[in-house]
Amino acid sequence: MSKVTGKTIKDAKISLEAFRNLGFPGAQELGNMFEFYQMKPDRNVDLTLELNPKAKKFSEWMQQNKDGYKDL
């Protein structure tokens, strides 16, 4: 994101439990999803792109959607 926007962007450090308790709809479910991502090994991006040619790497997606982040 920083490369595309030209601004320094850092991720917020928050525990899974704190995220689950943020109180917005879906916070518990998203917290569970993030926990799953932490427990499982990284995915094979090349295989994903082979199986689904419409899938994009994050850097490609970010470049195509950078206008939505111009006001960060």
**More reliable by pLDDT, 46 or 27:** 27
Kindly tell me if the per-residue pLDDT of 61 is higher than 80: yes
Q: How many residues does the chain have?
A: 72
What is the residue-wise DSSP string for 2-17? HHHHSS---PPP--HH
Q: Which among 12, 11, 10, 30 has a CA at the least distance from the CA of 20?
A: 30
Q: Which among 67, 61, 38 has a CA at the least distance from the CA of 48?
A: 61
Rounded average pLDDT over 52-62: 93
Give percent of the chain above pLDDT 70. 100
Contacts 24+ apart (CB under 8 A), 32-40: none
- Whole-structure pTM value: 0.61
Number of domains in the chain: 1
Kindly tell me if the per-residue pLDDT of 21 is higher than 80: yes
Contact 28, 21 (CB under 8 A): no
Determine the structural domain holding residue 10 and report its residue range: 2-69
